[in-house]
Structure 1
Amino acid sequence: MPFDYKPFFKTLIDRDLTREQIKKELQLSPTTMAKLAKGENVSMIVLDKLCEYLNCEIEDVIMHIKEKK
């Protein structure tokens, strides 16, 4: 996958928040939370909700990983 959500999980830890809190507050589905955990694609709407709720920049939620050629 060319994207990684490690910054999101680090941001949660830094702010003393849990995945369950985020899921409940933003009304995210279990499928969306699983996609984040597995590094799969999620919608821009979800990324926007996360940034808004956490009051952070996109780099605090997701990072791009360059593929080796």
Structure 2
Amino acid sequence: MDKDMKKKDLCAKAGISPASVTKLGRNGHVSTEILLKICTALDCKIEDILEIVPDKELS
């Protein structure tokens, strides 16, 4: 999904820190609260911003 938004704009609209956006970009761990704030700000569903990729070690 592309809302034509810069990272700083997403931070401001969602009320999240730039560090959270950086973690997302690096496949880091973020809380479900952060994901909810992003979905609310972008008016989207969780599956629009999240993809579950099975861990290779669990396969």
* Residues 21-52 of structure 1: per-residue CA shift (max 9 Å, x gap): 00122232122111111111101111111111
| Identity over aligned pairs, percent | 30
Per the alignment, residue 49 of structure 1 pairs with 37
**TM-score normalised per structure 1:** 0.71
Structure possessing the higher relative contact order (Cα contacts under 8 Å, 6 or more residues apart): 1
**TM-score normalised per structure 2:** 0.81
Secondary structure of the corresponding residue to residue 63 of structure 1: coil
Per the alignment, residue 11 of structure 2 pairs with 23
Structure 1 segments of 4+ aligned residues over 6 angstroms from their partners: none
Per the alignment, residue 5 of structure 1 pairs with none
From the two aligned structures, give the one with the greater strand fraction: 1
Alpha-carbon contact 2:15-2:37 (below 8 Å) kept: no
Per the alignment, residue 55 of structure 2 pairs with 67
Structure 1: unaligned runs, 5 residues or longer: 1-10
RMSD over aligned Cα atoms? 1.3
Query: How big is the shift at 1:60?
Result: 0.6
Q: 2: distance between equivalents of 1:53 and 1:31?
A: 17
